[in-house]
Structures are given as structure tokens and as C-alpha cells.
Amino acid sequence: MNKNLTHTKDLSKNNIINILKRAEIFLDEKKRDILNGKLVINIFFENSTRTRSSFEIASKRLGADVVNLDVSRSSTSKGETLYDTAMNLDSMGPDAIVVRHKNAGVPKILSKYVKASIVNAGDGAHQHPSQGLLDLFTITKHFNTYDLSNKTIAIVGDIKNSRVANSDIELFQRFGAKIILVTPPHFLPNKKLPYTFDIKEIIDEVDVIISLRTQTERHTNPTYASLADYGHNFKITKEILGNRDLIVMHPGPVHRNIDLSDEVMSDERCKVLEQVKNGVAVRMAILEHLLKD
């Protein structure tokens, strides 16, 4: 079994289904001792609220000890290389190191230098496997099936710069879903998938809408005069949803009234908070899968 999760492809389809089944059990939010005696280190080189907190809570609910490394005060800020930092941490005997970094590929490279399991909590615009798995879990749980071959998922927004989109697309396709990209031309990724510049053109086909945040921190040049200009064309509103039977998701943080309107955020079809709850359960299942003796 692969002891690392740096990419969604590190997991077989059976691995994924087993993780999702375990996540269903972990939704009870009860504390367990499955990882009692294990040590998990969170090292986030990019800011994070949901993902870091989610991994910390997941680890503690499984009985593991957790250390959160303050990167601003770490030796990397004093000139130590990332690899030396990782190997020094590895020498302290952690069982897993959860890593987020602005550069694509860092978790994969680190996995070659350390004995601990490496869990990718987001690397540049490359991958965010735990978010992809919790999104998949949210969808399969809602529809009560792992077979998504009759489901259509619209991914809306800055797809080109989104690590979440990459993980989602790989997983959703493996489980049979049809994917339609909804994005302005300059945010269109190099993927052979159907796309449109106007969600209204395909809204009647859609079972799931996944809205994405505009990744302004990864833009070399400004693409809009303001986010409001972007939102004018790509914001998901109650008017767009109408009375359709679908669900709306977003990995967070949500730009209110740019990605999703206030009305959509409070709509019962909006699963944003459910995704956060599911995220803890899914990350518990991931850690159990990688670390359980």
C-alpha cells in the first residue's frame, strides 16, 4: 500500500470507496483511539483555516498527538532548505507530515526524503487530494451511490489555477461523472472537457455545481478590474438555480456575492458547511488508511 497521499492517483478506486465508507462512520464525531501513540505534524507554508484545522481535529479525534509548525518562526525563515527542515522533523519520529506549499510537487519530492507518511494538503495549482475526496464524499452521500455515470457536474470559475479542480476532475471522472467547465477563456485549463462561458446554457443538465474562488494570488497579471466584474458573469444566484433539483458546493473560502450570492449561501441546496463537516470525517479516514497498523 502507498504510505503517502500526494495525488488522488495514489489511491485505487477500492481504496477510495473504503475511505468514503469509513468517513460515513466517522461523521458521528466520536473520539477514538485508533491512532493512539501516533504523531502527526502539520506544516503549512501557505495560509489555511479549514484544511489545517480539519486535519488537526481529524488527528485528535483518532487519538493521535498533533504538532502545528509555525512556519513564520521555523528554520526555513532563517535560510534552512525545505528538505533539511523536513528531514529534521522526520528525525523526531512523526508518523505523518501534512504539508501545504505554494509550489507544485513539493509534497511528492518530500516523500522521497522522509520515512513518515506525507499527506498533501495543497501544492500550488497542482493537487488537493483530501479536498477532492471530501467533495466526492459529499456528492456520493447526497445521491446515495458511488456510481456517478448519470450525473453531470459543472465546475465554475478559475479552473486553470485551481488545485481543487484538478483533484475533483480526476476523481469525478473515475467514478463516471460527466464534467462541464464553466469559465472565462483565460481561466480555461488545458483539458479536453466540454466547456461553456455561460452557465445558463447548460444549467438544465446539471446535478451539481462546484463554484471556485478566483485564485488572484496565482495570477501573473490582473485579469479583471475587480472581482465584482468577474462575479457579474460567473456568480451563482438563486435566479440561475431556479427551482432545479441540484446541489451547490464550494471548497472555501467563499467570496460572497462574487462566487455565490448570499441567497444561495443560505439555500438548503448549498452544501458548503456540510463539506466542512465531511472534511473532518474524510481526513480521519485518510489518516487511518495511511497510518493504522
Mean pLDDT of the chain: 92
Confidence grade of residue 219 (pLDDT, cut at 50, 70, 90):
very low
CB atoms within 10 A of CB 108: 18
Does 184 sit behind a cis peptide bond, omega within 30 degrees of 0 on the bond before it? no
123 half-sphere exposure, CB direction, 13 A CA radius: 20
Confidence grade of residue 18 (pLDDT, cut at 50, 70, 90):
very high
Task: List, in sequence order, every residue forming a beta bridge with 5; answer none if it has no partner.
Answer: 119
Domains of the chain: 8-127+277-291 (3.40.50.1370), 129-271 (3.40.50.1370)
Note the pTM of the prediction, 2 decimals.
0.94
Report d(CA 34, CA 83) in Å as an integer.
30
Residue 237 DSSP label: -
With a CB cutoff of 8 Å and minimum separation 6, the contacts of 12 are none
Q: Is the pLDDT of residue 204 over 70?
A: yes
pLDDT in tens, 220-253: 555 555 667 777 789 999 999 999 999 999 999 9
Long-range contacts of 57-60 (CB under 8 A, 24+ apart): 57/280, 58/280, 58/281, 58/283, 58/284, 58/286, 58/287, 59/35, 59/287, 60/31
pLDDT in tens, 127-171: 999 999 999 999 999 999 999 999 999 999 999 999 999 999 999
Kindly state the average pLDDT of the residues 193-205: 97
